[in-house]
Structure 1
Amino acid sequence: MAATRPGRLPGRHRRPAERQATYGEVIAIREFRALWIGQALSLLGDQLSRVALSVLVFQRTESPLATASVYALTYLPPIIGGPLLAGLADRYARRRIMIFCDLLRAVLVALMAIPGTSFAVLCALVFCVVLLSAPFSAARAALLPELLKGDRYVAGSALQNMTNQGAQMLGFALGGALIMAMGPYRALALDASTFLASALILVSGVRRRPAPLDTGTDRPSMWTMTRAGSRLVFGDPRLRTLVLFAWLCGFYVLPEGIATPYADVLTTDRQQVSFVAGLLMGSMPTGTVVGAFLFSRYVNPSKRLRAMGWMAMLTCAPLILCAMEPPLAVVLVLWFLSGIGGAYQLAANAAFVQCVPAERRGLAFGLVQSGLLASQGVGILVGGAAADVLNPAHVVAMAGAAGLSVAAALAVLWAGSCKEIIEKVRAEATV
């Protein structure tokens, strides 16, 4: 009988190792670099404007509800127009959609930067700017899988996620100080310039491609496409579970919306409120940057999918401890841990791509993104209303408890339906 190595049974073979893509591989792709840099520029400008609006409104009204309402205004427009506008990313060339949206947003934000603009007009302009993010984000999300195949998509998504969270972290943490130094109108002018820069980068760095649904004059109506996309996304139990995983963020993003009133409770120095609010707003994005790096770099593709439910629960569980009204340092750690758990969105995104046909990705991603922003806006609005009558720390804890319950239910559903996707992801990642 032939000798065998200790610990290895005859006739058994090891499962092929799963190959993980590196950040260097995706950065080397020119078109990805254009999407990556352009998105980072515009997002950094957006965070500066959000901090300015949040701090100014609270200084004028000292109302958590008013502050959260203005902050929620940057999330709510997709409820109205997002699902319809996202279909443009499948109807027309995706590069053209992104460039057009960037240019139009630059014009609208430039109008916001005119001194003396009334508060009502400012809110209307903010609404339109955020509404245009729906087709832009749908086009970008649908184009990314065409540029990055296999695990490169996860590495690229992680890199974008870390960059986006880093931009949020810098925008939130430094926003208060910059607003004090520059003034709100100059900050808005800076935001307009980031959209222009993004458009120029897309023009030079992303090549032209035909429209995904090139059917000549016999194109389906936007309403028909939206209904078909809704049936696709919500008719499949796997996709439906993944969508609900994405929308779970409505619970754990709530603390950001009431960060300024929470900061007012944590410090007795009124001059320090905006600084403390910036620290609070930046703690979760910082955790997400760390979590995305560790999750994408040291966890193989199939294990990411298996760990998704546990990571989703981690986003909400630490927030429950805010009920004990801990000091600032402890709150920052709890929100940081919550941010680490948010890395589960990388796995959910990759699984979603596996289940959606390429020609329908624009609308599918747009529907998810619209619901994502809507859930965040509603969560922040509800949190602001609750913080008007309750301690902000207790509001955060209640959001964490509710989110943990939902995350646990989704984890059970996912465990029963993820085997097919895991096998497909493993097959693409093996060498």
Structure 2
Amino acid sequence: MGAMRARRPPGRHRRAGTPRVTYREVIAVREFRALWFGQGLSLLGDQLAQVALAVLVYDRTGSPLATAAVYALTYLPSIVGGPLLAGLADRFARRGVMLACDLLRAGLVAAMAVPGLPFWALCVLVFFVVLLSAPFSAARAALLPEILDGDAYVMGSALQNMTNQAVQMVGFAAGGAMIAAIGPYRALALDAATFLGSALIIVSGVRRRPAPGRDGAKPSMWTMTKGGAKLVFGSRKLRTLVLFAWLCGFYILPEGIAAPYADTFSDEALPVPVVTGLLMAAMPTGTVIGAFLFSRFVSPPRRLQLMGWMAMLSCAPLIVTALRPPLEVVLAAWVLSGIGGAYQLAANAAFVQSVPAERRGQAFGLVQSGLMAVQGIGILVGGFAAERLGPEPVVALAGVGGVTCAAVLTMMWTESRDKTARVRAQAAA
């Protein structure tokens, strides 16, 4: 395993019937390790920074609205600027885009760590820090298929997904205690250091590659954005896969109203903050379990066959909340919902295989911006409805809506796969 070279990642040139790629093989690829470690490091710092910002803003303003406004800024930049800036990953060398974004974000977060910074300046810095995550994420997502191919890409994506969920759980759980010990300003300074660490890992572990695309004059960013939208939404197959990805707006909604939902269990022995933490951790826990099982024990063709059923599973368990079950049942249902969310691995792999390599950055950027939008809108709508109907029926309605959409997408996906199979059969004949 140790002799495996990054230039020939696992998954290429494998013959039918050979064993599937393992996590050990994927981790043996040096460039993947660099992306994996760098992402985990910066994400851990981001979780700490989110808690630090919430504490800092509320401590300085005493306003829940101001605290919520700063949190909303973590969604807005990606929705507004993501589709445009993501094209940088297709215009310039992707390694260079990632390094530039890491260094710029390190400087911006370091400025946020200066005591006494005006509130408006803090909001501006938060906006640009999140804005720079769009081209960074697009470049990393577009670079990963160049490092890992075939089933190795799915295994690498699963490993990154599990790591992200685990880091979020650890970061949120330990963030409050750490900030109480070192203070919010030092926590922000630590976040700035994680961006520098990520840049150092990328420099040392990811080799240089030329900028993607054709030689000659580069199209404008606006032209690239329009071309990316036409590519993604002009193909029925890609459009269906994107809608599968955006289905998460339904099953992420419960996390946004976890606190009021926890308050419905006020007669439980556990305090409301503890119940809130358990509810928020339930789906990420299921996602880790589902990603491991789906990638490790299900063959690539079978994943595509199960994708629709798994998508319905990601929403169906939420319907049980209409019966107002006890906490244990709700937690089990949310974990099961997280397990169903593993279908995203199959959708992501199919999307990568269907997009030209030189246009992946823009395509991934559009999808990521849509993901941020549906999650933000879903949480806002859920919170608005929960104030009037209560959290239990809102979560159940999200489950009903999600299952319905997933069923429609499943029929569209099955029809698309059958059509592709017929075309291939005719071509072979």
Which of the five TM-score ranges fits, normalised by the shorter chain? 0.7 to 0.9
2 CA distance for matches of 1:422 and 1:117?
A: 60
Say if 2:279 is the partner of 1:280. yes
2:241 maps to: 242
Name 1:200's counterpart in structure 2.
Answer: 200
Give, as a single letter, the amino acid of the residue that structure 2 aligns with 1:331: V
Deviation at 1:403, TM superposition (A): 1.4
User: Over aligned residues, Cα RMSD in angstroms?
Assistant: 2.8
Q: Kindly indicate whether structure 1 or structure 2 has the higher relative contact order, using CA contacts under 8 Å at least 6 residues apart.
A: 1
2:151 aligned with 1:141, yes or no? no
Letter in 1 for 2:285: T
Instruction: Write the distance in 2 (CA, Å) between the matches of 1:53 and 1:131.
Output: 17
SS in 2 for 1:407: helix
Aligned 1:326-337 pairs, distance under 5 A: 326-337=325-336
Q: Indicate the SS of the match to 1:114.
A: coil
Offset, 1:54 = 5.5
1:193 and 1:145, CA in 2 relative to 1: closer, same or farther beyond 3 A? same
Whole-Å separation in 1 of the counterparts to 2:51 and 2:270: 16
Q: Aligned pair in 2 of structure 1 residues 110, 277: CA closer, same or farther (>3 Å)?
A: farther
Q: Is the 8 A contact 2:36 2:160 kept in 1?
A: yes
The percentage of aligned residue pairs carrying the same residue is 70
Which residue in the other structure is 2:30 paired with?
Answer: 30
What does 1:181-200 correspond to in 2, within 5 Å?
A: 181-200=181-200
Structure 1 residues 329 and 423: alpha-carbon distance in aligned structure 2, compared to 1, 3 A threshold: farther
Please say which of residues 108-117 and 219-228 is displaced more in the overlay: 108-117
2:7 aligned residue: none
Partner SS, residue 379 of structure 1: helix
| Alignment gaps of 5+ in structure 1 | 1-14, 425-431
Which stretch shifts more, 146-155 or 324-333? 324-333
CA distance in 2, matches of 1:422, 1:48: 48
Superposition deviation, residue 131 in structure 1 = 1.3
**Is 2:317 the partner of 1:318?**
yes
2:417 corresponds to:
418
Q: CA deviation at 1:412?
A: 1.0
For residues 27 and 326 of structure 1, the distance between their equivalents in structure 2, rounded to whole angstroms, comes to 42
Q: What's the secondary structure of 2:243's corresponding residue?
A: helix
Count residues with an aligned counterpart. Answer: 408
**Structure 2 counterpart of 1:340:** 339
**Using the alignment, how far apart are the partners of 1:336 and 1:51 within structure 2?**
24
State the secondary structure of the residue aligned to 2:288.
helix
The 8 Å contact of residues 55 and 184 in structure 2, kept in 1 or not, is answered as: no
**Aligned residue for 1:103?**
103
| 1:336-415 alignment runs, 5 A limit | 336-415=335-414
The offset of 1:18, in angstroms, is 6.4
TM-superposed CA distance for 1:36, in Å, is: 0.4
Provide TM-score, normalisation by structure 2.
0.87
CA shift digits 1:91-118 (9 cap, x unpaired) = 0000000011111111222222233344
Shift in Å, 1:251: 1.3
- Please give the alpha-carbon distance, in whole angstroms, between the structure 2 residues aligned to 1:276 and 1:55: 20
In structure 2, the residue matched to 1:305 is 304
SS in 1 for 2:149: coil
8 Å CA contact 2:250, 2:315 repeated in 1: yes
Q: Could you tell me how far apart the structure 2 residues matched to 1:290 and 1:359 are?
A: 33
CA distance in 2 between counterparts of 1:398 and 1:85 reads: 35
1:71 Cα deviation (Å)? 3.9
Shift of 1:353: 1.1
> Residue type of the partner of 1:366?
G
**TM-superposition CA deviations, 1:376-424 (whole Å, max 9, x none):** 1111222222233342233222222221211111111111112477899
Cα distance in 1 between the residues matched to 2:304 and 2:57: 41
What is the deviation of 1:259? Answer: 2.4
Q: Report the CA distance between 1:156 and its aligned residue.
A: 0.7
Using the size of structure 1 for normalisation, the TM-score is 0.87
Paired letter, 2:192: A
Equivalent position amino acid for 2:29 in 1: I
Q: Aligned partner of 1:138: which letter? A: A
Measured in 1, the distance between the counterparts of 2:386 and 2:70 equals 15
Asked if structure 1 preserves the Cα contact closer than 8 Å seen for 2:138 and 2:365, the reply is yes
Q: Secondary structure at the match of 2:194?
A: helix
Q: Could you say if the C-alpha distance between residues 419 and 173 of structure 1 is closer, same or farther in structure 2, counting changes exceeding 3 Å?
A: farther
Counterpart Cα distance in 2 of 1:141 and 1:86: 11
Counterparts in 2 of 1:391 and 1:56: CA distance versus 1, 3 Å:
farther
Distance change in 2, residues 1:422/1:151 (3 Å): farther
Work out the CA distance in 1 between the residues paired with 2:93 and 2:335.
39
Q: Corresponding residue for 1:76? A: 76
Counterpart residue number, 2:6:
none
Residue pair 2:26, 2:155 contacting (<8 A) in 1 also: yes
Question: In the alignment, residue 393 of structure 2 is paired with which amino acid?
Answer: H
Please show how residues 97-176 of structure 1 align to structure 2 within 5 Å: 97-176=97-176
Deviation per residue, 1:346-380 (Å, 9 max, x gap): 00011001111111111111111111111111112
Distance 1:363 1:373 in 2: 15
* Contact preservation (8 Å) 1:175, 1:278: no
Deviation at residue 273 of structure 1 after TM alignment: 4.2
- Partner of 1:377: helix, strand, or coil? helix
Q: Which residue of 2 aligns with 1:12?
A: none
Separation in structure 2 between the aligned mates of residue 420 and residue 200 of structure 1, nearest angstrom:
47
Query: 1:72 deviation in Å?
Result: 3.9
Q: 1:50 to 1:406 in 2, by over 3 A?
A: farther
Q: Please list, as runs of the form range in 1=range in 2, the aligned pairs for 1:258-277 lying within 5 A after superposition.
A: 258-267=257-266, 272-277=271-276
Amino acid across the alignment from 1:408: A
Distance across 1 between alignment mates of 2:316 and 2:42: 32
Unaligned runs of 5+ in 2: 1-14, 424-429
Cα distance in 1 between the residues matched to 2:73 and 2:288: 25
Aligned residue for 2:101, secondary structure, equals helix
Following superposition, the deviation at residue 170 of structure 1 comes to 1.3
| SS of equivalent residue, structure 1 residue 209 | coil
User: Letter of the aligned partner of 2:309 in structure 1?
Assistant: W
